[in-house]
Structure 1
Amino acid sequence: MTGDRTAPELALRVLQQLWQGGVRDVVLAPGSRSAPFALALDAAERDGDLRLHVRVDERSAGFLALGLATGSRRPVAVVTTSGTAVGNLLPAVMEAHHTGRRLVVVSADRPDRLRGTGANQTTDQAGIFGTFAPCHDLTAALPYEDLESVVAQACSRRGPTHLNVQLDGDLMPSDPDPDTWWHRPEALQSHDSSAPAEVLRRQESSPGVAGSSGVEASVTIPTDGELLTLGPRTVVVAGDDAGPAARLLAEAAGWPLVAEPTSGARVGGQVLRTGRLLLTTDLRDDVERVVVVGHPTLSRPVTSLISDPGLEVLSVRGRDGVATDPGRVARMLDVVPRVDGPDDPAWFAAWRAADDRLSTLIDAGLAAPHGDPARPPGDAGLSPLTVAAVVGAAVAADTSLVVGSSNPVRDLDVMAAPWPPHEHRFVVGNRGLAGIDGMVSTAVGVALGRPRATRSIAYLGDLTFLHDTNGLLMGRGQRRPDLTFVVLSDDGGAIFSTLEQGDRRYAGAFERVFATPHGTDLEALCAAHHTAYERVDDLERLAAALAERPSGTRVLEVPVSRADRRAEAAWLRELARQVRQPRAARP
């Protein structure tokens, strides 16, 4: 069916099909060309069919939509006007591409006849995201059946999709009655506002999903997975979004599990709290096989392990279809493999003993009084590692934790004790590209997408927080989640001090071009955004604050020093050397 649909009619049809595809949250960055979308969305929310989130910054809007998709496990749409507004979504689209999040970009565009004419706010929007998102350039002449098919695919496929909608003629609806601006698709008029059954089934089967009770969903290793032989000394590496199947494989075989905080697998008795540090010891030399699930990105020891051509490396494809294989040495698997029984218990026992000892040494050193030789180098202030330990301990059953890139997620990787099984913890971050972009907006989206979580926490560094303070820019009438930001505040980019550029040979340029001290007054910034603020200078107050259930969004600034970050990393490596094990004997 075709016809001379008006711009408001085309916009309505697109939104109706998004609703039918399971979209229940839409983020709007207002503009002129997107006016028919804006009016229909406002009417849809008034009818209770959609939740509308309005943001004035398109980059923030994109990451808010990404966070909503992450938290709700549903497709989420973000709507913009034409011109540079669309380009500002690129970082969020890239992240969605590398994590398989279902982000639907709906951009209003000028008609094709104006392209290349210099018309105001007219550019080449169609295909602007390149390989990161397939683009459908939609016009009023497109048959309804084709439009329905395109939008249905956008809502169901993994990763982002771009719907570029050419709107021609009058943008405003001819009828000023808001009741005419939105109505559900006729085929679903009698249905309630829940997503179609097939969409719900797909969401409930997503890795790491839990019900409102916080009990982890029942997950099993796929029965069609490759059957692995026992005998080769194997380590399971669970990277970002690995899901529970990685843990279940390690438990079934009795293998050591190195699980990153955002893996969804840092649960149970096979997890090694200090796994990445133990990979710098002699235990690493005995590894013969590695199974990689998810997207590991946090440490060089792990990257070195999974890139070793001398090992058998098996890598399972993620939701984006990519198997992590930086060394191009892995054999790819479509699903997590299986075993038919436990392996030699002595293999895991050696790792468990070393992990227990190293964890004890780290905790004892951090608890030692200032001046004690066991204590890591630094002043008497709070250690970033102890802050991470408190944050990790605050992640109770059915907590949402969003972790920023750089040091916070790495500190948590060393300090967070494995969480107990059967009680779901929703720990996520933007690890597809591991950037600091949009983390405030992502955290807000996750909290809004999981409203039944017992509490929502975001753990970020100060530069990550400042990079997206527009995420706090929520106008009157907009939903503000119950969300606590813990900002590890060291006035700059501390992570660079642990890398090559942190060597004293580059000290003369380091502060200016890497550390980038900013001196920003976070309390004043929060006041400008009408956001509650508290400076926290001791661990007891931090633990108490994280046990609270605040109403609304607040920021806890935790000042720490970055002067000793490099020495602290060396201290951890030295402790790992102290627990080196002799090469384990074959049974």
Structure 2
Amino acid sequence: MKLTPASNISLLWGQLIIESLVRNGVEHVFIAPGSRSTPLTLAAHAHPNVVLHTHFDERGLGFFALGAAKALAAPVAVITTSGTAVANLYPAVIEAKLTQVPLIILSADRPEELQQCGANQAIDQVGIFASHTVWDINLATASTQIPANYLLTQVEQGLFIQQQQAGPIHINCKFREPFYAKQQSQDLSHYLASINPWLISGAPYLQKTTGSSSIPPLSDWAELQQQRGIIVVGRLTQIEQAQDLAAFAQSLGWPLLMDIQSSGKGHPWALNYYDQLLHHPEFVEQLNQAELVLQFGDRLVSKRLLHFLSQTRARLIQVQPHLDATSPNHIMGQYCCAEIEPWLLAHPVNQHQPWGAALYQADQAMAQLIGQQGYELTEFSVAHSLTRLAPDNSALFIGNSLPVRLMDMFAEPNSKQQRIFTNRGASGIDGLLASAVGVATILDHRPTTLLIGDTSLLHDLNSLALSSQLQSALVVIALNNDGGSIFNLLPLPDDEAVAEQCYQLPHGLDFANAAKMFGLQYVKPCSQQEFELDYAAALIEPGITLIEICVPAKQSSEMIQHLATQVPQLEL
């Protein structure tokens, strides 16, 4: 490998950092404009093995990269200039930490002599992300007095830690002027002598390994298979995991409860409408016959399921590939830190103990009740039909607040393979559009659909500008109920004026002019049939198509509450 000739040490350090990332598997780099970050930006731009993505808004850029890293299941790098540009990445970094997404933050910074002296665009960036990274370092200022070995060792140590504990890392890079090629020039050939073997090798600088990753089986696994168990599946990162777990549950004969984030909710063996059925005393009584709950994945959407798990007397065993605590009800149980595939291989099924036929009969009764809700265009009808309408092998990104709850409660089961993405770490409404664009950018051979609320879309409106970078279709379905309709499901103050002013925040806006401003295709269907036709047409249009569904503010909350009163009356 031969570096591009660098005229100053700052540019050379930028090249070494980017080359180190590439040798450790990084292919995609996301940048926002800035001057101090020039050494990193030019190095990324010039590298033949880097795919470059840009956004003018650092907050959106962070989520853009987050979505891409989720779709890749691999690290991506983010480059920003100094100052508040770095701080704008904070929400995306928090989400990445909570959902174990490998972001690499490269922040440019001023050297020591320009700190705390009133220098422009200089803030304290050391440890700026606090506990929301798995590793961070404040590099020494780029200098010929500091060997290149130091730089490579520090950067690759962070990458190694990230491989062991998925999550964001932060590398703060201090550059002293000059850092433009046209400025002062130096002969730096002698500086690289100490790393010549690395330059020639094409391999990472540090080649570390860890101990055995074999999974010890549960000592009483043979006995456990003879019990009445249920399988609960939360957020997964790969659709193949959902398929493997469904087959595992079916071979055991145990009921299967799959969260919408598992990408397997519609499997024929899954109980699709358990959230609503938990309103039914007989269903709860049947479910309470379980002696064992085996949970894979985390961050369940259904509050009713979380409550059930906190009340059941069944033994809990949870398998997840990270060390973070993910039991909000602090349930006593056995927690296994392991990847799903090797855990399943270590626990072959040799007992078939089917039970829970009444649970599946209840699920069918609930499906019939949902089918009786009519075909009027509503948030409910969109959420219920979306998995049926979305193509096989496509991606669905589901926004927070009401959309993800509607999908988890009511999505129609089907046999299609659809990758489901969410940002359910901090469950924020910021950056959802940018994250969906990141997913669509990586999965450019298949369409992506984003189901998002109006307030969430307003929060990230400028990320509509990313449409020009898309080669495939991203269909944005905006559920416009004029504000935060989710609050209608909560026990707000009886004074409607207070509820509106402090919680729902009605805005009275639509998105037609926003679509026009960003040059997007825009439709506003008036019926479910129109929506389905518009959606089918949008799936073949490159770039973003915005489909706006305008509904009364209380429509969904009233429908959910009405269904909740009907569920206990079902004959199971």
* TM-score tier after normalising by the smaller chain length: 0.7 to 0.9
Cα gap change, 1:252 to 1:484, in 2 (>3 Å): same
Report what 1:296 is aligned to.
299
Give the residue type in structure 1 aligned to 2:103.
L
C-alpha distance in structure 2 between counterparts of 1:61 and 1:154, whole Å: 24
Distance 1:425 1:223 in 2: 32
Offset at residue 298 of structure 1 (A):
1.7
Distance 2:374 2:216 in 1: 45
- Residue 310 of structure 1: CA displacement? 3.0
The amino acid that maps onto 2:16 is R
For 2:267, the equivalent position in structure 1 comes to 268
Deviation string, structure 1 residues 175-200 (Cα, Å, up to 9, x no partner): 899xx9xxxx9968898xxx99x99x
CA contact (8 A) 2:444 2:471 kept: no
TM-score using structure 2 length: 0.85
Q: Select 1:149's aligned residue among 156, 163, 175.
A: 156
2:168 counterpart of 1:160? yes
SS in 1 for 2:359: helix
Q: Partner of 1:307: helix, strand, or coil?
A: helix
- Structure 1, residues 205-230: CA drift from partner, whole Å, max 9, x if none? xxxxxxxxxxxxxxxx9784662613
From 328, 344, 349, the equivalent of 1:340 is: 349
- The AA in structure 2 aligned to 1:35 is T
Matched length: 524
In structure 1, what is the equivalent of residue 502 of structure 2? 513
Q: How does 1:497-508 map to 2 (within 5 A)?
A: 497-501=488-492, 505-508=494-497
CA shift, 1:357, in A, is 0.7
Runs of 5+ consecutive residues of structure 2 not aligned to the other structure: 1-6, 189-195, 208-213
The Cα shift of 1:522 comes to 0.4
1:137 aligns with 2:138: yes
CA distance in 1, matches of 2:315, 2:112: 53
Q: Following TM superposition, by how much is the alpha carbon of 1:172 offset from its aligned partner in structure 2, in angstroms?
A: 0.8
CA–CA distance in structure 2, aligned partners of residues 101 and 189 of structure 1: 32
Q: 1:557 Cα deviation (Å)?
A: 0.6
1:537 and 1:515, CA in 2 relative to 1: closer, same or farther beyond 3 A? same
1:7 deviation in Å?
0.9
Q: CA deviation at 1:442?
A: 0.2
User: Counterpart of 1:314 in structure 2: which amino acid?
Assistant: I
CA RMSD of aligned residues (A): 2.9
Partner of 1:40: 43
| Aligned match of 2:193 | none
- Superposed CA deviations along residues 489-543 of structure 1, whole A, max 9, x for unmatched, are 1111111101222x7x243311111111111230101111222211112212222
Structure 1 residue 480, shift from structure 2 partner: 5.6
Q: What is the rounded CA distance, in whole Å, between the counterparts of 2:445 and 2:414 in structure 1?
A: 20
Q: CA deviation at 1:403?
A: 0.5
Q: Is residue 2:313 matched to residue 1:310? A: yes
* Residue 442 (structure 1) aligns with: 435
Equivalent in the alignment of 1:14: 17
Equivalent residue letter for 1:268: H
**Residue identity matched to 2:153:** D
1:9 Cα deviation after fit: 0.8
Decide whether the 8 Å contact of 1:67 with 1:444 is kept in 2.
yes
Change (3 A) 1:404 1:105: same
SS at match of 1:487: strand
Aligned-partner Cα distance in 1 for 2:460–2:571: 42
* Deviation at residue 320 of structure 1 after TM alignment: 5.9
Amino acid at match of 2:296: V
In 2, are the aligned partners of 1:154 and 1:160 still within 8 Å (CA)?
no
Aligned residue identity for 1:542? F
Q: 1:237 aligns with which of 207, 218, 232?
A: 232
> Which ranges of structure 1 fall in alignment gaps of 5 or more residues?
200-220, 368-380, 582-587
The separation in 2 between residues aligned to 1:417 and 1:186, in whole angstroms, is 58
SS in 2 for 1:316: strand
Larger deviation: 114-123 or 525-534? 114-123
Tell me the CA shift for residue 61 of structure 1. 0.3
Distance apart, 1:485 and its partner CA: 0.5
Structure 2 CA distance for partners of 1:321 and 1:296, relative to 1, 3 Å: closer
Letter in 1 for 2:313: G
Q: Against the structure 1 CA distance between its residues 225 and 524, is the aligned structure 2 distance closer, same or farther, given a 3 Å change threshold?
A: farther
Does 1:72 find its partner at 2:72?
yes
1:473 aligns with 2:465: yes
Structure 2: distance between partners of 1:271 and 1:320? 27
- 2:210 aligns with none
CA distance in 1, matches of 2:556, 2:253: 35
> Are residues 1:427 and 2:420 paired?
yes
Matching residue of 1:402: 397
Aligned residue for 1:119, secondary structure, equals coil
| Post-superposition CA distance 1:547-567 (Å, at most 9, x none) | 231122110111122223332
* Cα pair 1:394 1:543 within 8 Å, conserved: yes
Conservation of the 8 A alpha-carbon contact between 2:68 and 2:438: yes
Quote the residue 1:128 is aligned against. 128
The secondary structure found in structure 1 opposite 2:523 is strand
Cα distance in 2 for partners of 1:499, 1:96 equals: 28
For 1:412-450, what per-residue CA distance to the aligned partner results, in whole angstroms no more than 9, with x for missing partners? 123323332xx6321111111222110000000000011
Tell me the amino acid that sits aligned with residue 285 of structure 1. E
Q: How far apart in 2 are the matches of 1:544 and 1:189? A: 57
Name the structure 2 match of 1:561. 552
Do the aligned partners of 2:523 and 2:534 also contact (CA within 8 Å) in 1?
no
SS at structure 2 position matched to 1:97:
helix
CA distance in 1 between counterparts of 2:115 and 2:254 reads 59
- Answer yes or no: is 1:363 the counterpart of 2:371: yes
Aligned partners of 1:97 and 1:320 also within 8 Å: no
Tell me if the contact between 1:65 and 1:442 (Cα under 8 Å) persists in the aligned partners. yes
Task: Name the amino acid aligned to 1:131.
Answer: S
Q: Which one-letter code corresponds to 1:98 in the other structure?
A: L
- Amino acid of the residue matched to residue 501 of structure 2? R
The 1:144/1:296 distance shift into structure 2, 3 A limit, reads closer
Residues 74 and 186 of structure 1: is their aligned pair in 2 closer, same or farther, counting only changes over 3 Å? farther
TM-fit CA distance, 1:319: 4.0
Identical aligned residues as a percent = 28
State the distance in 2 between where 1:66 and 1:175 align. 35
User: Residue 169 of structure 1 corresponds to which residue in structure 2?
Assistant: 177
Paired AA for residue 511 in structure 2 = L
